[in-house]
Structure 1
Amino acid sequence: MGSKVIVSGQVSGAILAVLPKFIGDAINTLPALELLQNLYPTQRIYVLGRPFMASLFSRADHYGVEFIPDKRHYYDAPHNILSMSRILKGYNISAAVLFRGSLRDALLMKLAGIKTIIGYAQNARSPLLSHALKLNPCEHYIYRYCQLVNEPHGKPFETFNKPTLTPQKLEQPLKGKLKIALYLGGTIKGHRCYPHDLSLALLKRLSAYQDIHLYLLGDSAERDEMETLTQELVKQNKSVTNLAGRMTLDILVDTIGNMDAMISIDSGPMHIAAACNTPCVAIIGQGTSPWSIVAPKQQNLIALHHQSMSLSESQMIRDISPQAISQALFELIK
C-alpha cells in the first residue's frame, strides 16, 4: 500500500466509488460508503455503476451519494474508456475507491486524471494505484470494502453499520394476510437455482396454509419458468402471483421490503431482503463463492446449507428439502 496516509481535510475535490457489477456486492458496499460520508461530510461523493444500478441507489438516498451511470455498459451505443474518462474529468474528482478488482477500472481512473486511486493489488494493476492494498480473500465482502476506506485513511474507524435500503410503499397493496416472496432462480442461475420439482413441492406445501399469498420473483429471463410454476398452482386454486420480469430494481426493493418474509437462493434478492430487514430463508447450494464471505449481516435470516455427498454441483441443492425450507420460514415468522 502507498505509505502516505490520506488526510481527508486536505482533499479538496469530489470522491468517487466504483461499484461492483452484481446487485448483492453493490449492497455490501453501502457500509463503506457511509464511512466515506463520515470522512468527507462537506464534499460530493459519487458512485460509478452500471446504469441499471441507478434504481437500486434511489432506495439508498440516506447514504448521501450521487449516482453516475457507467456509459461503457449502455446496451445501445456504449461509450469507450476514453470517452468515459472525459466524462469523469468534468466531476472534479480528487480520489477514487475501486470496489472492483478490474484493471480496466484502474486504467479509467488514471485516464480521468484522478491522483488518489485506492484499490486491492490484483490483476496487475498495482502500478496504476496510489494506494494498493493486499487482499485478504478470507474476509467478508463488507470488510473488504470497508478496509479500502479505513486503511488508507489511517484506520479512524473501529466498526461499521449493516447495509440498509429504504423501500417505499407500493401503489398496489399486496394480497394475503401473510405475504411471502420467493426467488428460486431459473436455469440461468445454473446449479444455484432450486430445481423445478422441488420448487413446485415447496409452493404447494406453503400454499396449503390459510391466509398466505405467494409471490414469485425473477428477471425477464426467468419469467416463463415462474409462470409454469404459477399455472400449476392456479389449477389447484392456490394463492400465487408471478411478478418475475415485471418490475425495475427499485420496485423490486419496494416489493421485497413490503413482504412479511422471503425465501431466496444465494443471489441479489437475498441481499435486498437483508438490507430491507425482511425475514429471509436462504437456500445455499453450491455457490459462486464461500458463504462465509457473502452471507448477509442480518439476525432474521436462516441459512439452509446443503449436506449433500454428491459430486455433481447441480445435485447438491436437492439436499435441502421443501419441508426444511417451510419449517425454517415458519420459525422466522411464528
Structure 2
Amino acid sequence: MPKATHILVIRLSAMGDVAMTVPVIRVLAQTYPDLKITVISRSFFKPFFEGIANLNFLEADVYGKHKRLGLIKLAKEAQEHGIDAVADLHNVLRSKIITKYLKFKGFKTARINKGRTEKRVLISSKGKNISQLKTTHQRYADVFEKLGFPIDLEKYAAPPKKRLTPKLNGLLGIEQKKLIGIAPFAAYESKMYPLDLMAELIRKLDETDKYRIFLFGGGKKEMAQLQKLENPFANVTNVAAKLTFEEELALISNLDLMLSMDSGNGHLAAMYGVPVVTLWGVTHPYAGFVPFNQPDTNQLLADHKKYPLIPTSIYGNNFPKGYEDAMKTISVEIVILKIKEVLS
C-alpha cells in the first residue's frame, strides 16, 4: 500500500483531550509539510487548529445530522475530502464506526491504545511503587507512527501568541504586569483546590500589585463563585461568560502562566506554549495527563504520607472517604513560591 498523503484524524471530545491533540498534530504538520490533514471534531473546537499548515476541519454533529447512522454520512464526507488514511485518536463507539467503515472501504487505519490495563494497575497499586505511564500525547503520536509517520514531540514549536483585540487590551490595562490565568474548577471536587485556599492565594498575589489575574470557568454555579473571588481585588478579572471562546483562547495564548487543576484549561494554555502549574488531588501525573511540555517541577501534589493511596482513580471520580480533602495539603505558600519561580 502506498504511503498516505491525507490523514483523517478523529477526536470528538472532551475539551482537554482534544486540546492535547493540537501539539501532536502541529509536530506532524511541521515534520511532514506535504501531508494533508483533516480533523473531525466538534465545531466548538475548530479554533484550536487555526494556523496549522495543510489542515482542514470537518465538523462532527453527533447529536444532529451525524447521530447514529449519520456517522456513516460523516465518514463519506471525509472520503469526499480525499483522505487516504485514518488516525482514530478517540477509540470510542462513534469513532470506531467511522474507522471501521473507512477500513472496509480500503483505507489504512490506526487506533489509539489508551493503556487501560496499565492504568488499572496504576490505580490498584494503592500508591505503592507506581511509575510514569506513557503520556497521552505520546499515545497520539504512536497512532501516526503506525500509519508511517513517526514524529519527535521534542521538536514542537509553539505557535505565536494570538492578536489581542481592543477589548482584550482593555482588560490587560496600561501597567506592565505579569499575566496569570487561574482555572479553579475541575470535573470532580476531588481535583479542585479548596475555594477558601484559592481565595487566600489570590489575595496574596493581588497584594503584590505585580500581576494581572484572570479567572476562567463556566456554568452558573461556577460563575457565581468566580465573581466572589474577583470582587474584593483590584488586579483580578473574572472572564467567564464575558468573552467569546476565540477571545478566551487569545487571552490564554498571551498569559505568562496558567494555574490549573487536572483539567482542560491547563491543556489549552500548554498548546500555546504557556507555562502551566498544575495542582493534583486524587489523580496523579503518572497517569499521562500532564499538560504538554510541562516539567515535573510544575506538578504540585497532595501529601502522599497523609494520603498514601493516591492515585485513587484516573479521572478523580473514585476515592476513599476523607480523600476529597487531599488538596488541602498543598499550601498556599508552596503554590505562590512555584508561581514566582516559574515567572522569574
The 5-angstrom pairing of residues 261-276 of structure 1 reads 261-276=257-272
Residues of 1 paired with 2:330 and 2:230: CA distance?
A: 21
* 1:143 correspondence with 2:138: yes
AA at the equivalent of 2:331: S
Residue 24 of structure 1 is matched in structure 2 by 16
Using the TM superposition, give the Cα deviation of residue 292 of structure 1 relative to its aligned residue in structure 2, in angstroms: 4.9
Describe the SS at the equivalent of 1:169: coil
| Closer, same or farther: CA 116–92 of 1 in aligned 2, 3 Å | same
Shift of 1:300: 9.8
CA contact (8 A) 2:89 2:140 kept: yes
Q: 1:32 to 1:305 in 2, by over 3 A?
A: same
Residue 283 of structure 1 is matched in structure 2 by 279
Letter paired with 2:144: V
Distance verdict in 2 for CA 1:156–1:87, change over 3 Å: closer
Say which is worse superposed, 45-54 or 244-253, in terms of deviation. 244-253
Post-superposition offset of 1:159: 5.8
Distance 1:163 1:106, change over 3 A: farther
Question: SS of 1:208's equivalent?
Answer: helix
TM-score of the pair, normalised by structure 1:
0.79
**Residues 241 and 66 (structure 1), Cα distance of their counterparts in 2 relative to 1, 3 Å cut:** same
Residue 167 (structure 1) aligns with: 161
| Superposed displacement of residue 73, structure 1 | 4.3
Q: Describe the shift of the 1:38–1:56 C-alpha distance in structure 2 as closer, same or farther (beyond 3 A).
A: closer
User: What is the CA–CA distance in structure 1 between the aligned matches of 2:108 and 2:94, rounded to whole Å?
Assistant: 16
**C-alpha deviation, 1:254, in angstroms:** 1.4
Aligned match of 2:191: 192
- Number of corresponding residues: 302
1:316 is matched with which residue: 322, 326, 338?
Answer: 326
Which residue does 2:89 correspond to in 1? 99
**For the Cα contact (< 8 Å) 2:190–2:282, is it kept in 1?**
yes
Displacement of 1:63 in angstroms is 4.3
Question: 2:58 maps to what in 1?
Answer: 68
Tell me, yes or no, if the aligned pair for 2:212 and 2:235 is still in contact at 8 Å: yes
Task: Find out whether 1:331 has 2:341 as its counterpart.
Answer: yes
TM-score (norm 2): 0.77
Aligned to 2:74: 84
Counterpart Cα distance in 1 of 2:52 and 2:75: 28
Q: Give the equivalent residue in structure 1 for 2:316.
A: none
Q: How do 1:248-259 residues align onto structure 2 when only pairs under 5 Å count?
A: 248-259=244-255
> What is the Cα deviation at residue 156 of structure 1?
5.1
Identity in percent = 21
Q: Which runs of 5+ in 2 are unaligned?
A: 116-131, 308-319
Q: In the aligned structure 2, how far is the partner of 1:73 from the partner of 1:57? A: 22
Q: Does 1:243 align with 2:253?
A: no
Q: What one-letter code is carried by the residue in structure 2 that aligns with 1:28?
A: M
Secondary structure of the residue that 1:93 maps to in structure 2?
coil
Partner residue in 1 for 2:214: 215
